[in-house]
Amino acid sequence: MQDKNKISKTQYLIIGSSHAGLAALEAIRLQDENGTITMVTREACLPYSPTILPYVISGEVAAESIHLRDQSYFDRLSVTFKSGSAVTGINLDQKWVSLASGEKINYEKLLLATGADAAIPSFPGIDSIPYQVVRTLEDALKLRQSFQKAKSAIVIGAGLIAMHTAENLAQSGLQATLIIRRQVSLFAYFDGAAARMIESIFSDHGVTLAIGSGVSKISPSDDGGCQVTLESGSVISADLLLLATGVRPRINYLEGSDIQVDRGILVNENMQASVKDVWAAGDVAQAPGFFDAGKTINATLPNASVQGRIAGMDMVKDPALKPYLGSSGLNVFNFFGHHGFSLGLATVTESTDDVEVNTVYLPSSQRYQKLVFKNNRLVGVSAINARLDPGILRELIQRQVDLADVKEGFTSAPLETGRLLMSKLWR
Amino acid sequence: MGKGYNTIAFYPDKCDGCNDCVKTCSYLHTETVEPAHSRIQIVADTIPGSYGIAQCRQCGEPRCVMDCPAKALAKDEDSGVIRWDETRCVNCQLCTLACSYAGITANPITGKVMKCDYCDGDPGCVKACKPGALEWVTAADIFNKWGELEDLFVPGLSACLGCNSELLIRHSLRRIGPNTVVATPPGCIPGVGTVGVNGLTGTKTPVFHPLLTNTASMLAGARRYYNRIGRDVTMLALAGDGGTADVGFQSLSGAAERGEQMIYICVDNEGYMNTGVQRSSTTPFGAWTSTTPVGANLRGKTRDAKYLPVIMLMHNCEYVATASLAFMEDYYAKLDKALQASKKGMAYIHVFSPCPTGWRFPPNQLIEIGRKAVEANLVPLWEYSLEEGRLEFTHPIDNPLPVKEFLSLIGKYRHLNESEIDHIQKTSEQRIEILTSFQHQRANQ
């Protein structure tokens, strides 16, 4: 409790040390060489990316080598880095943030990049067994350890984390069962045909998929494991239970403050929150959508780093700042040696008056490619094992390039045509 | 602080789509010739004969590095190359989504990502490119060293937007150094603030403002004085074409013939830009100026420009060179030689200096216009030293651009018809012939 009454001061206070926080920090230092910067994280270690955690679980990457920055980096940029310090409260009038240690930090400008926690569904009996989630390094290491003892595992969820975790389990030799409430996996990223192809690859690698039935009950099993009863009535047992049913922005420390929140912290196109001198970026921020009229959360790494950079530039009044184009789906998905990605409105299946869907589906070579156009502009792409440049396609979507004149060439040879458009439009 | 890096430049107009760069890149990285392995890709346009390029730009604020969760990508601070560390890569391919240029791509054969590494500073694609569409640009070294030298010119000045002279003054003074007396006769260079105001000078060296007629003779006198008291001080003239080729020529010619020790830089913007864009003897044929207007009776200047550098060569100067700031490495090399030559006698550098205000082109086109003039052979870059006794082209142009491609960028030539353009084309070719004859001077002697 020695820190109880300590108040330190900083010009720029960044809460969170992953992609959004780091991008903001660098943007600030580019413009302000001398301003005091403090970065605070609840994690007890140097910065890392949540995206790397599945690879820690699988053992492909050692936990010691995941850190994106080391202490000498912070020393070089004269940044005070405080790990193991969760934020507990915020006082907007006096402009300080309190930490779990009791310490307070007075700020001039504050960035909230606190990320998201695993969302825990309220299944009956969920608290009766020691379920696991994959969100922090601690979670990943714990999970990796329990792999050693377990023979089987259940994963509940239909998203990229659920799928990746199931893959890890199967690769580690566990009998993995994936429980998906909807009729199809990865519904947010791929259409039914593509999802079926992915599901069959999972099946081929020994993952059991229980699709189309929600969980009705969870209970401990006699042998110390768990037992999941589905709405269909079937019962699945395993040694481990993993929950990957989405994430929820971490905003509990804002209780009682005037900062407007919906699902996440509401921000404008410069990542400013509803009160002065506070910004938010990354998984915690609910930002203007690229396609949606309202504000939305696409909790992905590329959205986080761009938002963080914009927040940092705005905090330091960088004249080169361009407002956020809007959040949209930007996902890559790799599984059992296959590569997929999904951008924008990638799940549209039907062509309509102004929407055109172009699909190439080659089941024999496990190749899938879907291009979605609206008024001759690319609005979505999903692909598996297709040779494309996702970054160029992203840029075509975000720039809303009119493809009317090149549409035929683009749909038949999107890689070459995309590169050519790039070399003309933004080289 | 910021650092400049060497880089690969691509000139689409020179690319013939031969793909030798692609084959070479593949071979150098995998010892097989397989386009899919190449880190450089040439993309054919729907317009035949037109090509684009997909290659890593080695961005200053690389988004691929920012979005790598495994720290497998990092920008090398020494070379500027973004390095991919295969041992750290988890093959998530987020980098391919981050890059807007197809600079880091998934190799369909290996299943891993790949990107350009500049072949450790000796890019094979550039060496393989016969038409010269790829160039290994090493000018960054100059700017890195430049930052270490003291800027001897005022931070604020009143030059027009896009003025070539500011670039010239800052670079020349830094390179030649503070042990210098600068003379700037009437013209843009004193006009923008070099001689200063209210008794304060615009340079951190002694500077004075001679008459338009006597720059070279005043510097000659100053140098002789320093010689007499035993001090080795560099004399530097920064003069316009009017003060050099027209009214200042008598004193310059005399000083050159006598072998006075100085560096005389003529900043040739082809007219009296400081006083309202009047013609000078270096204004080219056909150019609009306020005294060679374009109308019913006149279509710009009726006479060809006086080509002063060869006239200076015939004075037996220690060193004579032409330069363009679009070729900064070339200019720096010439400043070094001029500085050495000025210990013995006259060093004369004639700098082609496009002027956005007087020539009527957008300020951001300054360097491009400087480059095109050289590539069209209107401004051949060469040097001559008395010791060597012969002229050498320092940036020979094998396939010159048609002069029209240069002329069309500039407002003062807007009115030219085909026969006038033809005349300029022929004059430029004749000039190259004359210069070529000086290449062999010693051999003929």
Distance CA B122, CA B367 (A): 26
Q: Evaluate whether A388 touches A400 at the Cβ level (below 8 Å).
A: no
Q: Given strand A285-288, what is the order of strands in its sheet? A: A265-266, A285-288, A295-296
The ipTM of this complex is: 0.95
Q: Is position A326 within any domain? A: no
Q: Is position A1 within any domain? A: no
* Dihedral sign (CA A102, A103, A107, A112): negative
Q: Evaluate whether B52 touches A424 at the Cβ level (below 8 Å).
A: yes
- DSSP one-letter code for B304: P
In this complex, do B97 and A332 lie within 8 Å of one another by their Cβ atoms? yes
Q: Measured between beta carbons, which residues in chain B are less than 8 angstroms from residue A55?
A: 70, 90
Q: Is position A205 within any domain? A: yes
| pLDDT attached to residue B155 | 83
Percentage above 90 pLDDT, chain A: 90
Residues in chain B: 445
* A309 vs B: CB within 8 A: yes
Percentage above 90 pLDDT, chain B: 88
A1 pLDDT tier (thresholds 50, 70, 90): very low
Contacts (Cβ under 8 Å, ≥6 apart) of B160: B355, B356, B357, B363
Contacts (Cβ under 8 Å, ≥6 apart) of A261: A251, A254, A286
Q: Measured between beta carbons, which residues in chain A are less than 8 angstroms from residue B98?
A: 302, 391
Using CA atoms of A133, A134, A138, A144 in order, give the dihedral in degrees to the nearest 10: 90
B444 pLDDT tier (thresholds 50, 70, 90): very low
Q: Is position A62 within any domain? A: yes
Scan residues 331-360 of A and list those with Cβ closer than 8 Å to B.
332, 334, 337, 339, 341, 343
| pLDDT attached to residue A391 | 98
Mean pLDDT of chain B: 94
Closest CA to A198 of A385, A346, A56, A328: A385
Q: Measured between beta carbons, which residues in chain A are less than 8 angstroms from residue B63?
A: 305
Q: Identify any residues that bridge with B238 across adjacent strands, giving them in sequence order.
A: B265
B441 pLDDT tier (thresholds 50, 70, 90): low
Q: Measured between beta carbons, which residues in chain B are less than 8 angstroms from residue A49?
A: 69-70
Kindly state whether residues A100 and A51 are assigned to the same domain: yes
Amino acid code (one letter) for B308: L
Amino acid code (one letter) for B390: R
Contacts (Cβ under 8 Å, ≥6 apart) of A147: A57, A169, A172, A174
Distance CA A341, CA A345 (A): 12
Q: Report the predicted TM-score, pTM, of the whole model to 2 decimal places.
A: 0.81
- DSSP one-letter code for B286: T
Can you point out the beta strands (E) in B138-277?
A: 180-183, 207-208, 234-240, 262-268
Q: Measured between beta carbons, which residues in chain A are less than 8 angstroms from residue B66?
A: 19, 22-23, 305, 309
Kindly state whether residues A211 and A252 are assigned to the same domain: no
Helix or strand holding residue B51 (H, E): strand B51-54
Kindly state whether residues A375 and A359 are assigned to the same domain: yes
In this complex, do A423 and B105 lie within 8 Å of one another by their Cβ atoms? no
| pLDDT attached to residue A4 | 58
Shortest Cα distance, chain A CAs vs residue B159, angstroms: 24
Pick from A182-186, A316-320, B391-395: least confident: A182-186
Q: Identify any residues that bridge with A104 across adjacent strands, giving them in sequence order.
A: A7, A98
Return the residue matching tokens 């589905």.
A230
Cα dist from A55 to A29, A50, A167, B91, B341, whole Å: 31, 10, 11, 10, 65
Kindly state whether residues A101 and A138 are assigned to the same domain: no
B148 pLDDT tier (thresholds 50, 70, 90): confident
* Residue A411 reports pLDDT greater than 90: yes
Kindly state whether residues A395 and A309 are assigned to the same domain: no
Structure tokens at B262: 């100085």
CATH superfamily, domain B142-444, is: Thiamin diphosphate (ThDP)-binding fold, Pyr/PP domains (3.40.50.970)
Kindly state whether residues A222 and A252 are assigned to the same domain: no
DSSP-derived 3-state class of residue A302: helix
Shortest Cα distance, chain A CAs vs residue B103, angstroms: 9
Amino acid code (one letter) for B105: T
Interface contacts A/B by beta carbons within 8 Å: 109
* Long-range contacts (CB closer than 8 Å, 24 or more residues apart) made by B280-284: B280/B241, B280/B242, B280/B245, B280/B246, B281/B241, B281/B245, B281/B246, B281/B305, B281/B306, B282/B241, B282/B245, B282/B306, B282/B308, B284/B424
CA geometry: angle A283, A288, A289, nearest 5 deg:
85
In this complex, do B54 and A423 lie within 8 Å of one another by their Cβ atoms? yes
The Cα diameter of chain A in Å comes to 69
Nearest by CB to B102, from A50, A60, A391: name it.
A391
- Which domain does A266 fall in, by range? 7-117+248-315
Q: Is position A332 within any domain? A: no
Kindly state whether residues A47 and A79 are assigned to the same domain: yes
Q: Measured between beta carbons, which residues in chain A are less than 8 angstroms from residue B99?
A: 389, 391
| pLDDT attached to residue B143 | 81
Q: Measured between beta carbons, which residues in chain A are less than 8 angstroms from residue B40?
A: none
- DSSP one-letter code for B294: B
Kindly state whether residues A135 and A216 are assigned to the same domain: yes
CA geometry: angle B444, B249, B227, nearest 5 deg:
85
pLDDT tens digits, A104-133: 999 999 999 999 999 999 999 999 999 999
Residue of B nearest to A63 (CA): B70
Distance CA B21, CA B130 (A): 9
Best residue in B63, B67, B107 for a mutation probing chain A (most A CBs within 10 Å) = B67
Structure tokens at B405: 């491609």
A350 pLDDT tier (thresholds 50, 70, 90): confident
CA geometry: angle A161, A165, A166, nearest 5 deg:
120
B443 pLDDT tier (thresholds 50, 70, 90): very low
* A70 vs B: CB within 8 A: no
* Residue B214 reports pLDDT greater than 90: yes
| pLDDT attached to residue A45 | 96
Best residue in A53, A335, A419 for a mutation probing chain B (most B CBs within 10 Å) = A419
Distance CA B409, CA B384 (A): 30
Pick from A262-271, B111-120, B142-151, B214-223: least confident: B142-151
* Residue B445 reports pLDDT greater than 60: no
Last residue in a domain, options A220, A245, A270: A245
Kindly state whether residues A220 and A263 are assigned to the same domain: no
Q: Please classify residue A286 by burial: count the beta carbons closer than 10 Å to its beta carbon, then call 0-12 exposed, 13-18 middle and 19+ buried.
A: buried
Distance CA A47, CA A83 (A): 9
Read off the pLDDT of each residue in A197-203 and give the average, rounded to a whole number: 95
Shortest Cα distance, chain B CAs vs residue A85, angstroms: 22
What does B112-161 look like in DSSP terms, one character per residue? SEEE--GGGGS-HHHHH-TTS-EEEE-THHHHHHHTTSPP-B-S---PPT
Pick from A281-285, A290-294, B261-265, B410-414: least confident: A290-294
Q: Measured between beta carbons, which residues in chain A are less than 8 angstroms from residue B72?
A: none
In this complex, do B69 and A60 lie within 8 Å of one another by their Cβ atoms? no
Distance CA B281, CA B287 (A): 12
Q: Evaluate whether B143 touches B332 at the Cβ level (below 8 Å).
A: no
CATH no. for residue A93? 3.50.50.60
Distance CA B199, CA B59 (A): 46
Return the residue matching tokens 């006239």.
B311
Q: Is position A335 within any domain? A: no
Query: Please, what's the b/e burial string for B70-88 (b: 16 or more CB within 10 A of its CB; e: otherwise)?
Result: bbbbebeeebbbbebeeeb
Provide the 10 A C-beta neighbour count for residue B34.
13
CATH no. for residue A388? 3.30.390
Closest CA to A50 of A35, A71, A66: A66
Q: Measured between beta carbons, which residues in chain B are less than 8 angstroms from residue A389?
A: 54, 96, 99, 102, 105
Read off the pLDDT of each residue in B19-27 and give the average, rounded to a whole number: 97
Residue of B nearest to A343 (CA): B97
| pLDDT attached to residue B36 | 95
Q: Is position A43 within any domain? A: yes
Domain parsing of chain B, residue ranges: 7-138, 142-444
Mean pLDDT of chain A: 94
Structure tokens at A280: 């938010």
Number of independent structural domains in chain A: 3
Report domain B7-138's class: alpha beta
| pLDDT attached to residue A147 | 85
Q: Please classify residue A57 by burial: count the beta carbons closer than 10 Å to its beta carbon, then call 0-12 exposed, 13-18 middle and 19+ buried.
A: buried
Pick from A264-278, B142-156, B386-400: least confident: B142-156
Kindly state whether residues A140 and A227 are assigned to the same domain: yes
| pLDDT attached to residue A349 | 87
In this complex, do A422 and B96 lie within 8 Å of one another by their Cβ atoms? no
What does B62-98 look like in DSSP terms, one character per residue? -HHHHT-TT--EEE-TTT--EEE-TTT-----HHHHH
B197 pLDDT tier (thresholds 50, 70, 90): confident
| pLDDT attached to residue B442 | 52
Q: Is position A322 within any domain? A: no
pLDDT: which is higher, B283 or B139: B283
pLDDT tens digits, B24-73: 999 999 999 999 999 999 999 888 889 999 999 999 999 999 999 999 99
Residue of A nearest to B95 (CA): A391
Ramachandran sector of residue A277 (left: φ over 0; alpha: ψ -120 to 50; beta: rest): left
B160 HSE (CA, 13 A, CB side):
18
Helix or strand holding residue A399 (H, E): helix A390-399
Nearest by CB to A52, from B41, B69, B99: name it.
B69
